[in-house]
Structure 1
Amino acid sequence: MTVYSVDSGQVASCASRIQVTCDSIRGEVSALMHELLALKDSWQGAASAQFSESVSSWQTTQAQVETSLDQISTSLSHAAQVYADAEAQSMGLFAH
């Protein structure tokens, strides 16, 4: 038999904090990208090409980070709801 103990409210709260952090990261990355793209547009030469590749690589990595954080937040939100629903259903079994 499986035994578990979970505070669904704490799980939901954590999911919310992760989403807030992800939104903050998106804002910071957007500001950073604005600066990097402005620099990229004003720069020419071989080093500029390498810089552009680095920026593109960063964009790819950042997209993966954001996707992962979104998935974690969503999964935690769903888990919290499942645990809360299971508890409510179990309580209902004993209601008279």
Structure 2
Amino acid sequence: MKDRNYDSEEPLSLWKVTLWIVLYAAVCGVLLAAFTLIESVLKFVLSLVALYFMIRFFKKYERWSIRISFIICTLLAYFSTVIMMAFWLYMTNEMAGTAG
């Protein structure tokens, strides 16, 4: 399914595009956050999977505004996942009594 122009018979549904942007961005953001948190070779597989999803999204939607929205949402998902993981690690270490 390709991105349709404004003059085509079937315009893009705003809700459908928004849903796909959020879903793809959440998956890529979590995969990239896992890339930064994992220290094994698996991190490279996760980055390749994130790249695969990004390429699929860019093939599906060719408009610049949709692509920029995807990149911004991916960065937001990445930072929010990393911050939540940092809070979780801090809280588990605090409860275990090992926090400095």
Please state which band the TM-score falls in when normalised by the shorter chain. 0.3 to 0.5
TM-score, normalised by the number of residues in structure 2: 0.44
TM-score, normalised by the number of residues in structure 1: 0.46
Higher percent of residues as helix: 1
* Larger Rg belongs to: 1
